[in-house]
């Protein structure tokens, strides 16, 4: 299944994408694509529906029908750094002996095609296409062998990052990662049965039509089951938490010379089987 949220900002409604690429309403079946609606029991109930009987929503998704972030009321937006061997190499960093963990503040979350705003004082705003993992069943001290039972699905994340804030301004990475609009998420949450081999998904990102990132989840160092298990040692994972699992090479910081967003650009990015995003970049207000 491909689950989604559609409608104006702050008024998003739950829906699914049918086999013809049209949006069907899930209003009255779940309150939102969030929390307990992501449990295995809830997903099984939605999967059992005859989608042709669900109300058809006017408009074309990602055209004249806005999509919000594919998960509502995200509790924790957990990110993993330097998790692709080839990205670590372009960053001049060694593969870390344990996953690098940081946060995006949930106020950064926007829809997959919403504008990205350059923050005031930014010198080095960058892009990162990432595989997002959505938790459906919570837990602590999850065994790696059981980890996928806790995953509701996967999505595309653009881990927009301000590198000067992140690296050069002292302290943790978080302040360069969580600026408003720095977390486009979606277009849809795709359940694992429809994704298949999540360890071998093509990933790409263009800026103004130039391809910068062209990688694969196959070069991920710490794989999804390990990450779910690892993170659950340090915090309880809860339904609706999102884990953004790192990026392949091709970020602006890794270019020679480096390339950063200034405003006026258009980013397009996608992951095989998970859909595409498109964001206009607005200059600092």
Statement: residue 86 has pLDDT above 90: no
Percent of the chain with pLDDT over 70: 99
Work out the average pLDDT over 229-248. 98
Mean pLDDT of the chain: 96
Encode pLDDT of 154-196 as tens digits: 999 999 999 999 988 887 889 999 999 999 999 999 999 999 9
Instruction: Give the other-Cβ count within 10 Å of 254's Cβ.
Output: 18
Give the CA angle between residues 225, 180, 237 to the nearest 5°.
25
Quote the pLDDT of residue 276.
Answer: 98
Say if residue 234 is exposed, middle or buried (CB neighbours under 10 Å; 0-12, 13-18, 19+).
Answer: exposed
Per-residue pLDDT at 88 exceeds 90: no
Q: Which residues pair with 23 in a beta bridge?
A: 17
Cα–Cα distance between 6 and 26 in angstroms, integer? 11
pLDDT score of 69 more than 80? yes
Domains of the chain, CATH where assigned: 72-282 (3.90.850.10)
Mean pLDDT along residues 96-117: 96
The answer to whether 164 and 124 are in contact (CB under 8 A) is: yes
Closest residue by Cα to residue 31 from 54, 13, 10, 18: 13
pLDDT above 90 (res 285): no
pLDDT(92) > 80: no
pLDDT digits (tens, 9 = 90+) for 108-132: 999 999 999 999 999 999 999 999 9
């Amino acid at each position: 299944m491909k689950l989604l949220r559609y409608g104006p900002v702050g008024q998003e409604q739950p829906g699914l994408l049918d086999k013809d690429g049209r949006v069907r309403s899930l209003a009255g079946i779940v309150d939102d694509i969030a929390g307990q609606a992501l449990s295995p029991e809830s997903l099984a109930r939605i999967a059992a529906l005859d989608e042709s009987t669900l109300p058809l929503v006017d408009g074309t998704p990602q055209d004249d029908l806005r999509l919000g972030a594919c998960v509502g009321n995200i509790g924790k937006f957990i990110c993993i750094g330097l998790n692709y061997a080839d990205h670590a190499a372009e960053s001049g960093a060694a593969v870390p002996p344990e996953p690098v963990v940081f946060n995006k503040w949930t106020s950064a979350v926007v829809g997959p095609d919403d504008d990205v705003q350059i923050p005031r004082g930014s010198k080095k705003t960058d892009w990162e296409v990432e595989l997002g993992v959505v938790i459906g069943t919570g837990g602590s001290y999850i065994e790696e062998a059981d980890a996928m039972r806790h995953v509701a699905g996967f999505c595309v994340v653009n881990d927009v990052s301000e590198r000067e804030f992140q690296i050069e301004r002292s302290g943790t990475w978080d302040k360069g990662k969580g600026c408003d609009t720095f977390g486009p998420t979606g277009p849809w949450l795709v359940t694992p049965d429809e994704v298949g081999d999540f360890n071998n998904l093509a990933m790409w990102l263009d800026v103004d039509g130039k391809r910068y990132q062209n990688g694969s989840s196959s070069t991920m160092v710490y794989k999804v089951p390990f990450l779910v298990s690892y993170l659950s040692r340090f915090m309880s994972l809860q339904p609706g938490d999102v884990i953004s699992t790192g990026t392949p090479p091709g970020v602006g910081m890794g270019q020679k010379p480096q390339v950063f967003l200034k405003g006026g650009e258009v980013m397009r990015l996608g992951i095989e089987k998970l859909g595409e995003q498109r964001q206009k970049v607005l200059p600092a207000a």
